[in-house]
Structure 1
Amino acid sequence: MPDLSSGGPGNEADAAAVNALRSAVMRLSRRLKHQRVDESLSPTEMSVLGTLARCGTATPGELARKEHVQPPSMTRIVALLEAKGLVRLEPHPDDRRQKVVSQTGRAEAMLEESRRKRNAWLASLAEGLDEDEWARLRAAAPVLEKLAHL
């Protein structure tokens, strides 16, 4: 495995590739964030709903760790989502001092519509790729997915 952090001799091409990847992923991510179904939700609120969709129910503390925010911030986010009817709080099955957060059917439908809109937007961009570029992008998708979850 090459050391991509040193930037020393022999790593200039790798360092340039890492820089280009970082820049492209950030720009694409910002553009994707604008393809939202519900403008009233913050990106953080959408991220929490996405985490619940992927991981299932969780305590606010677990959500805070997964989202890399402080527990008091997550408590506020969960309260906002609950007030909007997108999550529900229920007693924890093993620890009655805690609550578990789960998404509602309304949140599931909104996330599905958001995925559909973002996928359609990405597909329209991909139409501008030639066959070789599209093949490379398909091959890169699992690698990008792995990086996103390391």
Structure 2
Amino acid sequence: MTELSEDDRAAVNELRGAVMRLSRRLRHQRVDETLSPTEMSVLGTLARCGSATPGELARKEHVQPPSMTRIVAMLESKGLVRREPHPDDRRQVVVTRTEQAAAMLEESRTKRNAWLASLAEGLTPEELAVMRQAAPVLEKLAHL
């Protein structure tokens, strides 16, 4: 493991602040204002990872299982997920996103991408090149 220099630590601090501000602004670019950020995150996890048990979702979302049970119930009442019997364990259920959720996520993704693209239009060609290089690094940090 490489020890960070003082300049690297300053860059980490600057990155943290920038990511937090950008994330906050992105959250305001939602299609459905009735969903909480956690509910949107659960739908995103189901889109990326496929169907899952509530326990698996709780682990992936870093919430307690009872909280996930409430989140799944809320999403189900809005027609965004459905619970189905687990194929191997009759004591459990599997949560699957609905077509309505897939359409809403796609609309949300399109809106957020358009907003970010409009911001990127204000960047110089050099800054755009840096952004293209930074995207995979930020993705890696998000999953470490």
1:22-79 CA-to-partner distances (Å, cap 9, x unmatched) read 1111110000000000000000000000000000000000000000000000000000
| Structure 1: distance between partners of 2:140 and 2:88 | 33
- Structure 2 matches for 1:96-115, cutoff 5 A? 96-115=90-109
Does residue 1:75 correspond to 2:69, yes or no? yes
- TM superposition outliers: structure 1 runs of 4+ over 3 Å: none
What pairs with 1:23-62 in structure 2 (closer than 5 Å)? 23-62=17-56
Structure 2 counterpart SS, 1:90: strand
Instruction: Report the counterpart of residue 3 of structure 1 in structure 2.
Output: 3
Task: Give the 3-state SS of the residue equivalent to 2:101 in structure 1.
Answer: helix
**Secondary structure of the corresponding residue to residue 111 of structure 2:** helix
1:129 matched residue in structure 2:
123
Q: Which letter maps to 1:110? A: M
Structure 2 letter corresponding to 1:128: G
Residue aligned with 1:102, SS: strand
Give the aligned residue type for 1:106. Q
Gaps of 5+ in 2: none
Q: How far off is 1:2 after superposition?
A: 2.5
Which runs of 5 or more structure 1 residues have no equivalent in the other structure?
A: 5-10
Matched residue type, 2:3? D
CA distance in 1 between partners of 2:11 and 2:127 (Å): 17
Normalization by structure 2: what TM-score?
A: 0.98
Amino acid at match of 2:68: M
2:138 maps to 1:147: no
Q: What amino acid does structure 2 have at the position aligned with 1:3?
A: E
Q: State how far apart, in whole Å, the 2-side matches of 1:70 and 1:37 are.
A: 27
Give the equivalent residue in structure 1 for 2:11.
17
State percent identity of aligned pairs.
81
Matching residue of 1:8: none
Normalising to structure 1: TM-score of the pair?
Answer: 0.94
Return the offset for 1:12.
1.2
RMSD: 0.7
